[in-house]
Amino acid sequence: MIKKIDHINISVTDLEISKRFYIDLLGFELDKEGELQGEWIDRVVGLENVKAKYAKLILPGAETCMELIQYYRPLGDKDPKSGVSNQIGFRHIAFEVENIETIYGKLKDAGVKMFSELQVYNQDKKLCYFAGPDDVILELAEYS
C-alpha cells in the first residue's frame, strides 16, 4: 500500500541555476546534495555509465521533497514541447502558498515567464502558472 509521495525528481540542464531558482524564489531549503555514479545507479535508472549530481530540496513542514538531478553522462535530450501544457506525460507541480500576490510579484520581478496574471477559480482559489528552469511548468495556488 502506498503511504505518501516521497519525492519529485526533476532532471535539469544546470543544477546550480535550478537550485537557486527553487531556493531563492520559492523558499525551498537545501537538505543534501551529492554525486551519483557506479553500477547501482546504472541499474536503478536503466542507463549505462551514469555520472550525475543531485540536490535534495525541502520545504519546512512538508513531507514531500524535491530532487533535482543533472546528468553529465549520458546526456539527455530536451523535449522542445516540455513546457507546453497539453503535452502527454508529466504536466506540472502545484505549490499551495500564502500571500500569492507577494510571491507572484517576486517571480515577475525576477523575470520569470508567467503564463498569465493571477486567476480566480470557483471563487475560492487564486492561481497562476509559470515556467521554471528547463520549462518545467509550475503553479502557485492559494485557497480562501
Asked if 27 and 55 sit in the same domain, the reply is: yes
Residue 120: inside a domain: yes
The answer to whether residue 22 sits within a structural domain is yes
Domain count of the fold of the chain: 2
Which whole number is the average pLDDT over 1-14? 91
Residue 42: pLDDT band (50, 70, 90) is very high
Residue 58, in any domain of the structure: yes
- Specify whether the CB–CB gap between 85 and 132 falls below 8 A: no
User: For residues 69 and 12, is the Cβ–Cβ distance under 8 A?
Assistant: yes
End-to-end CA distance of the chain: 32
- Please state, in angstroms and rounded to a whole number, the distance separating the CA atoms of residues 129 and 117: 9
C-alpha span between 95 and 8 (Å, rounded)? 13
Torsion angles phi and psi, residue 66, rounded to 5: -120, 135
Domain membership of residue 28 (yes or no) is: yes
84 lies in a domain? no
Range of the domain at 35: 7-73
What pLDDT band is residue 54 in, cutting at 50, 70 and 90? Answer: very high
Domain shared by 97 and 64, yes or no: no
Q: What integer is the mean pLDDT of 68-87?
A: 90
CATH of the domain at 99: 3.10.180.10
For residues 18 and 60, membership in a common domain is answered with yes
